[in-house]
């Protein structure tokens, strides 16, 4: 799994809260133990966050792997909140992205269950 952790982005598909249609986005991520973390720059105003708050079932694609799993908003002020922010900030500043401090401090962290022993569906 470590090779997937180095990818620049993943694809997240949520179910539209009004339409019921799939809503797919490309987004930065960080992997840690059995969780994949995302930061929503627009917080709870982000469509994909509003969708997963209604239905936590999501699909994540990393490279040629696809997994159906569950997502949740991370509780503010917790150790997990700080961890998610630090992981994403560190990963993307190390890649030459600058001026991410405000984003890392103000974005809404989302955790996606990512059990290591789970099998994948290949896209190929």
DSSP letter assigned to residue 89: H
55/22 Cα distance (integer angstroms):
12
> How far apart, in Å, are the Cα atoms of 14 and each of 11, 70, 72, 108?
10, 10, 12, 16
Instruction: Give the global pTM.
Output: 0.87
- Looking at residue 30, its pLDDT comes to 95
* Residue 119 predicted with pLDDT over 70: no
9/87 Cα distance (integer angstroms):
14
* Position 122 confidence tier, pLDDT thresholds 50, 70, 90: low
Spatial CA neighbour of 27 closest among 116, 119, 112, 94: 112
Could you report the per-residue pLDDT of 60-87, keeping only the tens digit for each?
A: 999 888 999 999 999 999 999 999 999 9
User: Nearest-5° angle of CA 59, CA 112, CA 15?
Assistant: 40
How many percent of the chain have pLDDT more than 90? 69
104/106 Cα distance (integer angstroms):
6
Could you report the per-residue pLDDT of 96-117, keeping only the tens digit for each?
A: 666 788 888 889 999 999 987 6
């Amino acid at each position: 799994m470590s090779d997937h952790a180095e990818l620049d982005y993943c694809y997240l598909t949520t179910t539209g809260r009004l339409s019921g249609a799939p809503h797919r986005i490309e987004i930065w991520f960080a992997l840690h133990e059995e969780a994949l973390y995302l930061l929503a720059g627009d917080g709870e105003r982000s469509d994909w966050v509003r969708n997963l708050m209604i239905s936590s079932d999501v699909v994540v694609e990393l490279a040629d792997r696809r997994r159906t799993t569950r997502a949740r908003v991370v509780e503010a002020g917790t150790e997990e909140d700080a961890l998610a922010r630090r992981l994403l900030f560190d990963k993307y500043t190390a890649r030459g992205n600058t001026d991410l401090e405000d984003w890392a401090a103000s974005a809404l962290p989302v955790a996606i269950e990512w059990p290591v022993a789970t099998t994948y569906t290949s896209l190929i």
